[in-house]
Chains A and B, each alone.
Chain A
Amino acid sequence: MATDITMPKLSDTMTEGRLIAWKKSVGDKVERGEIIAEVETDKATMELEAFASGVLAEQRVKPGEMAAVGAVIGVIGEAGEAPSPAVEKPTPPPETAREPSAEPAAAEPTAGELPERVMERPGGEPVPPVSAGPPEETKAAPVVRRLAREKGVDLRQVPGSGPEGRILLEDLERYLAKREEGEAAAPAAPLRGGEEPLSRMRSAIAKVTAESWRTIPHFYETVEIDMKEGGEIVRELKGSGHAVTFNDLVIKGSALALAAFPRLNASFAGDRIALHEEINIGFAVAMEEGLQVPVVKGCQGLALKEIARHTVRLAERARSGAITQEEISGGTFSVSNLGMYGIEEFAAVILPPQAAILAVGAVADRPAVCGGELVVARTMRVTLSCDHRVVDGAYGARFLEELKRVLENPVLMLV
């Protein structure tokens, strides 16, 4: 009778473990109590004992691979029984451990797989603002989507009457009919001529960006950053009750890089360059009527968790209109993140009197070459806009190199 070898539960908080090594090869004789493999969780390894005697018939998980607690990682067959060929098959969904001596493995099927996907999806971050309609998935059949595309309709504007708000063909037709009649009053529907007075916010944005464009000679540099570890940190911190977003990592990383490259934490002042002692990082918050850039003050002395607390509070205040002039002034550097809209990369306009702004794109799986092999990497592209009166290309490049180093080794942001 064959006996399954399952990934043991080495801790109440363990959901998956890594197989480090097999101590027996397929076909080897195994005695009950003998060490057959080593598994690891966190920084602890455990020598795995055989719970039955026989012959190692299968190794289903390769050294270095993760397996969920309770998943079958190998099989011990009866001595004399012909070992089934060691086929490389993927670990099936874990079965509950049946061995009496094994830990009662509370099988958590997809644990360890699911959170990663959910959490690292750029749109999944609890990112600031966005009242102008987050890129939420709408439910609709392909035929509805096609018609919507042809007619230039944003499906998010169409009320769905199907189950769970699914947009039916008739919903779209009704919407189109209304639009024909000029009744479609959806906020994002194309404006059809006429005038719109500038809101105070629009007017402020117009003034600042025009001044920036007129007076600051911009240049741009883009770098691609591996966010695999960053994603793990975000996930781990969330697991321990501290919500930190990719944007918070970028702010903290920028603060560290600015400390090393102070001329990007500066202002052009006619006959001199003013270097700022404080690192005050503004982050752009999109709002229905425009945007605001609340400032996290004194970033040089703030831990990642503190930055996260500030960004949540400031974004909330910006959204609710409660933000004060004091909270949006005094910035010495800014970050603008359009990752949640799926933007790959873009360049931002510097906010005077600052010397630079960092434009952050989406964290996504992208092809990369590693050791001559094509692999999938989880990356993010950031573009630095610099004031050429203050710094030159090489200085910006060295800043980005430092930022990349910090973000790719996020533990540097935790100490």
Chain B
Amino acid sequence: MRVEEAGIVDYHAAYAIQERLAAGVAAGGAPETLLLLEHPPVYTIGRGGSGTNILDSAIGAVATNRGGDVTYHGPGQLVGYPIIDLGRRGRDLHRYLRFLEEVLIRVAASFGVEAWRVPGRTGIWTEGGKLASIGVGVRRWVTMHGFALNVANDLAPFSRINPCGMAGCPVTSLEILCERAVSLEETKRLVAGEFCDLLDQLLIKEASRVH
């Protein structure tokens, strides 16, 4: 398991990196990787959504093969793309989603922010609204896409979409909840730490790949 930090990366370029990493993991041999990065402003539309939930034409929109509806990415938001071999970690997508939520809940907790799950609404939620979105894609049981944690990003672009397809869905960030400046570097360190700690605990690795 390794962590790769990539700075600000264009959405398409990041997708190409994920595909390459995922192919390596599926073929066997390549290590599982957590990609941590930021995107320039972009709206992405998951398989569950359509462009009708975007009300803003100033920022480009990309259709992609993750689960979920539309969301926004931009600088100051920490995006995590874990390339994980679920083929040898229990092959359970729901458990994987709950694992990602647990990582993010613990990261929020280390900032003193209480966050929780809402059944049926994947992501993590706080009293100020949704703090992180999750949308995952799996090919040959290797994961792509992942989560987007609002750290210090401009939240205005969310107001011009219906995040997750829900009108009026409130969105918040760590900075707003903590009422102080939060560094992306600090957040990355915490995310990487919790992710690596929890991965083998919650998604137990089998000796060899099933199927």
Contact = CB atoms under 8 A, between A and B. Distances in A.
- The reply to whether chain A is a binding partner of chain B is yes
Interface of A: 10-14, 18, 20-21, 35, 38, 40-47, 49, 101, 103, 232-233, 236-237, 239-240, 405, 409, 411-412, 414-415
14 contacts: A10-B92, A14-B93, A40-B48, A41-B93, A43-B135, A43-B136, A45-B46, A45-B47, A101-B211, A232-B120, A409-B169, A415-B127, A415-B129, A415-B170
Contact of B94 (A12, A236, A411): A12
Contacts of A412: 168-170
Contacts of B167: 405, 409
Contacts of B139: 35, 46-47
A47 B125 CA distance: 28
Contacts of B125: 414-415
A42 B122 contact: yes
A241 B70 CA distance: 30
Nearest to B125: A415
A44 B93 contact: yes
A257 to B, nearest CB: 13
Interface of B: 46-48, 65-68, 91-97, 118-123, 125-130, 134-140, 166-170, 211
B141 to A, nearest CB: 8
Given A11-B94, A47-B138, A236-B120, A40 B67 contact: yes
B97 A411 contact: no
A415 B65 CA distance: 28
A333 B136 CA distance: 44
A47 B65 CA distance: 9
A237 B119 contact: yes
Given A20-B47, A21-B47, A42 B119 contact: no
B26 to A, nearest CB: 11
A412 B129 CA distance: 8
A233 B65 CA distance: 26
Given A405-B167, A412-B168, 11 more contacts: A10-B138, A11-B94, A40-B67, A43-B122, A43-B136, A44-B94, A45-B46, A45-B65, A45-B66, A411-B121, A411-B169
A21 B50 CA distance: 13
A43 B68 contact: yes
A401 to B, nearest CB: 12
Contacts of B93: 10-11, 14, 41-42, 44, 46
A46 B138 CA distance: 5
Given A236-B119, A415-B128, A43 B134 contact: yes
Contact of B138 (A18, A21, A44, A103): A44
Contacts of B91: 10, 103
Nearest to A49: B140
A415 B67 contact: no
